[in-house]
Amino acid sequence: MSAKQPLCTAPEGSGTLDTLLCEERVFRPMPRIVAEANMNPQDVAIARARAESDWLGFWEEAAEELSWFRKWDAVLDDSAAPFYRWFAGARCNIVYNALDRHIETANKNKLALIWEGEPGDTRKLTYYELYREVNKAANALRAAGIGKGDRVLIHMPPLPETVIAMLAAAKIGAVHSVVFGGFSARSLRDRINDATPAAIITADGFYRNGRVITLKGTVDAAVAKCSGAAAAVLKKVVVVHRVLVETAMKEDRDVWYHDFVRDQPDEAFTESLDAAHPLFILYTSGTTGAPKGIVHAHGGYMVGVNRTLDWVFDLKPTDIFWCTADPAWITGHSYVVYGPLMAGTTTLLYEGHPLYPEAGRAWSVVQRWGVTVLYTVPTLIRMLMRFGRQNPDRHTLGTLRLLGTVGEPISPEAWTWFHKHIGRSRCPVLDTWWQTETGMFMISPLPVSLLKPGSVTRPLPGVEVDVVDESGAPVPHGQGGYLVIKKPWPAMLTTIFNDPEAYRRLYWERFPGWYFSGDVARKDEDGYLWIQGRADDVMLIAGHRIGTAELEAALASHPAVAECAIVGVPDEIRGEVAKAFVVLHDDQPPVATMMMTGETDQDLIEHARRELGPVAVIREVEFRSALPKNKNGKIMRRLLRAESTGQSTGDLSTLSTDI
C-alpha cells in the first residue's frame, strides 16, 4: 500500500483545505487496539466479503440483532424505487430497542444518560429511570390526544427532557421534529408550517456561555405568525422549567412539563409500528430556499444506526460515550440518543458552551466522567487548538480510547493535534462521513483501519459509493468528482416531508439509480476517500449546513436590500463563513457612504442573524451597484466566490456548481 497522495485540482467552491492535497502520513493500527477490537482486521475482511456476496443477507443479519414485533416479508422492497422499503412487512419500534428491552437485562440499573448543565449541575438516569420518565411523558402526550402519526416539534436546548421527549413521541408512534434551540422565530415558524405539529415541547430558557437565553418567547412569536392550518392542528405547548425567568403562559394551550407529566403512570405500552412508519423529520438546508424535512423511518434507521455505531466505535460495556453534537442535529439523533441507547451504552449530554467558563471545560468533562469515546466536530478541535496544548495537558485524559470527527473536512493539522494532544497518540481518530439524509455512518475507518489524516478512508461494509464525473463515469484515482451512493442502505431517508417529488428530483435524478450526495471527493490510489466539500450552493459553517438561498432570502427581507448573493469563504475556525454581495435600493445613500460608515454592514449582518439565528454567520458585506449574471439572468455566484477566495476562474469548468 502506498502512502503517497497524488496532487489533484480541487473543484471550485469545494472548501478544500490545501493541506489535504499533499498529506502523506499514515497511522497503522496499534497492536493494543487490534487486540481489544470487537472486529479485528480479519473480521472486517470477512464482513466485506459477506456484504459483497450476499448484500441483503448481510443487512438481514444486522437486523437480527434487534427486537421486532413481527419479522419482515422482504429485507428490501425496491418495487417503488427510489422509495425503497427496508424490512417490508415488519413491525417494530425503535424505543423498544433503545429502552424496553434493557429493562429485562442487567442494563436495567446501568446509567443510560449522564447530563451536565453549563453551570455545573448534573443529572444521571439509569435505563430504568429513563424508561419510566419516557413512559410518563408518553402517557401525558396520549392524554393530550396526541398519537400515532401526529407530529411533535421539540425546540429545546440539550436537556434530559429533550431525549425523553424524543423517545416518548417515538414510543407512541408520533413523529418528532427537533428544531435547534438557536434558531430564530422565523426559522421555527417555517418548520412549524411544514410539520404542522400537534404539540411543541420547549423550555423557558437555557444557559449558554454564562448567559441565560430565553426560548419560550421564540415559540410564542413563531406560533403567532404561523399559518392557519398549523394553528388549527397545534394543541399543546409544553414548557420545561430550566431557568429563572418570567415566562408568559397561554391558558389552555401552554403547560409546564412537570405539571404535564406529574400524575401520569410510569408504565406505557409501546406502539407496534410498520417498519416504514416515520420516526422523525429533521429539517436541513439544501439548494432551494426552504429547508427540507428529511424523513427517517423506525425499521431501517434502527438497523443502520445500531450496526454502524458498533462497528466504528467498537462499543464496550464500560464505555462512557460523549458525542458533543446537539440532539437537534442528525449526529445527536443517531449517536447521542438512539445509537448509544440501543447499544445499552452510557451516553453523555452537555448543555453548554464547550469553552465556558474556560477553555479546558471539554477536557474537564472527559476527566470527571471518565469518557472513553469522544466524537466531535473539526470546528471545536480548531477552536481548542488555539488555546494550545497546556489546556488538555492539565487534565488526565487516560480514559479515552477512541476519538471521532464529523461534519466537515478535517485538516491533517487538526487531525494530528487531536490525535497527539487529546488521544496522547494512543487513540485512533475516526473521521466519519455521512449526512442527515443517510442517517448512519457511510464512509469511515474502523479502529483497526490504517489511517491517513484527513481521509475518511473507505465505505463501511455493505455500503457502496463511488466518485464519478458529470456523465457518471468513475474518475481516475487522484481526481475530484461527485460522491454517489450506488446502493440503498437501511438508515436512508424515506422521503422529504410533504414533497416526495423533491426527494426523487434532488437525490435520484442527477445520476439515475444512484443517490447523489451533493459532495465532491477524490479517491487516492489505495481507494481511500478524501472529502473536499459541497458541490452545490450549501455552506458548512462550523459544520452546520446553511443553504446560500436560505441566507439570501433572509437578507433580501431587509428593506434596504434590492438584490443579494451569498458565497461561502474559508474561515480559520469555522471552516467556512458567508460573504454577502449586496445591491441596495436606489433610495439608499450611495454605496461609497455605506462602505465608509459600516453601519449598514452591521445592520444587515444583524438582520440575517435575527432572521435565521446565530448559525448564519456573515463575516463581510460587500456593496455593489450590480451583480454579475449569466445570459439567463442567473447570478454567477461562482464568479463571486472565485473573486472572494482569490481563485482563478480558469479552473471552474472542471465541475459545474449549477446542479
Is 88 a binder of ligand WTA (CB under 6 A)?
no
Q: Which stretch binds ligand WTA (CB under 6 A): 76-84, 227-235, 247-255, 434-442?
A: 434-442
Is 518 a binder of ligand WTA (CB under 6 A)?
yes
Q: Could you give the string, one character per residue 466-505, with x where binding to ligand WTA holds by CB under 6 A and - elsewhere?
A: ----------------------------------------
Q: Which stretch binds ligand WTA (CB under 6 A): 230-238, 432-440, 445-453, 616-624?
A: 432-440
Q: Widest CA span of the chain, in angstroms?
A: 72
* Contact pick of 130, 309, 450, 540 for ligand WTA (by CB under 6 A): 540
Cell of 561: 436590500
The one-letter amino acid code at 234 reads L
Give the separation between CA 464 and CA 457, rounded to whole angstroms: 13
Is 406 a binder of ligand WTA (CB under 6 A)?
yes
Q: Which stretch binds ligand WTA (CB under 6 A): 17-25, 325-333, 467-475, 592-600?
A: 325-333
Residue 440: which of 326, 339, 292 has the closest Cα? 339
* Contact pick of 5, 376, 432, 449 for ligand WTA (by CB under 6 A): 432
Give the separation between CA 347 and CA 532, rounded to whole angstroms: 31
Specify whether the backbone of 527 is left (phi greater than 0), alpha (psi in -120 to 50) or beta.
left
Is 456 a binder of ligand WTA (CB under 6 A)?
yes
Tell me the closest approach of the beta carbon of residue 550 to ligand WTA, in angstroms. Answer: 14
199 versus 330: smaller Cβ distance to ligand WTA: 330
The one-letter amino acid code at 471 reads S
406 versus 615: smaller Cβ distance to ligand WTA: 406
Is 531 a binder of ligand WTA (CB under 6 A)?
yes
Is 177 a binder of ligand WTA (CB under 6 A)?
no
The one-letter amino acid code at 480 reads G
Tell me the closest approach of the beta carbon of residue 546 to ligand WTA, in angstroms. Answer: 10
Strands 320-323 and 373-376: parallel
User: Dihedral of CA 449/452/456/457: which sign?
Assistant: negative
Tell me the closest approach of the beta carbon of residue 205 to ligand WTA, in angstroms. Answer: 25
Phi, psi of 649 (to 5 degrees): -90, -5
Coil, helix or strand at residue 533: strand
* Contact pick of 93, 193, 331, 494 for ligand WTA (by CB under 6 A): 331
Phi, psi of 621 (to 5 degrees): -120, 130
The one-letter amino acid code at 279 reads L
Is 379 a binder of ligand WTA (CB under 6 A)?
no
Residues in the chain: 659
408 versus 552: smaller Cβ distance to ligand WTA: 408
Q: Could you give the string, one character per residue 135-174, with x where binding to ligand WTA holds by CB under 6 A and - elsewhere?
A: ----------------------------------------
Find all residues with CB under 8 Å of 476, minimum gap 6, and list them.
none
Residue 107: which of 270, 315, 301, 300 has the closest Cα? 315
Does residue 464 contact residue 458 with C-beta atoms inside 8 Å?
Answer: no
Is 536 a binder of ligand WTA (CB under 6 A)?
no
Phi, psi of 293 (to 5 degrees): -90, 95
Total residues at interface with ligand WTA (CB under 6 A): 22
The one-letter amino acid code at 191 reads R
Specify whether the backbone of 575 is left (phi greater than 0), alpha (psi in -120 to 50) or beta.
left
Residue 443: which of 453, 433, 451 has the closest Cα? 433
Q: Which stretch binds ligand WTA (CB under 6 A): 49-57, 404-412, 503-511, 582-590?
A: 404-412
* Contact pick of 133, 194, 314, 431 for ligand WTA (by CB under 6 A): 431
Q: Could you give the string, one character per residue 616-655, with x where binding to ligand WTA holds by CB under 6 A and - elsewhere?
A: ----------------------------------------
Is 285 a binder of ligand WTA (CB under 6 A)?
no
Is 455 a binder of ligand WTA (CB under 6 A)?
no
Cell of 640: 463571486
Find all residues with CB under 8 Å of 451, minimum gap 6, and list them.
26, 27, 428, 429, 445, 457
165 versus 330: smaller Cβ distance to ligand WTA: 330
Site residues for ligand WTA, 182-241, by CB under 6 A, read: none
Residues contributing to the site for ligand WTA (CB under 6 A): 284, 329-331, 406-409, 431-436, 456, 517-519, 531, 534, 540, 545
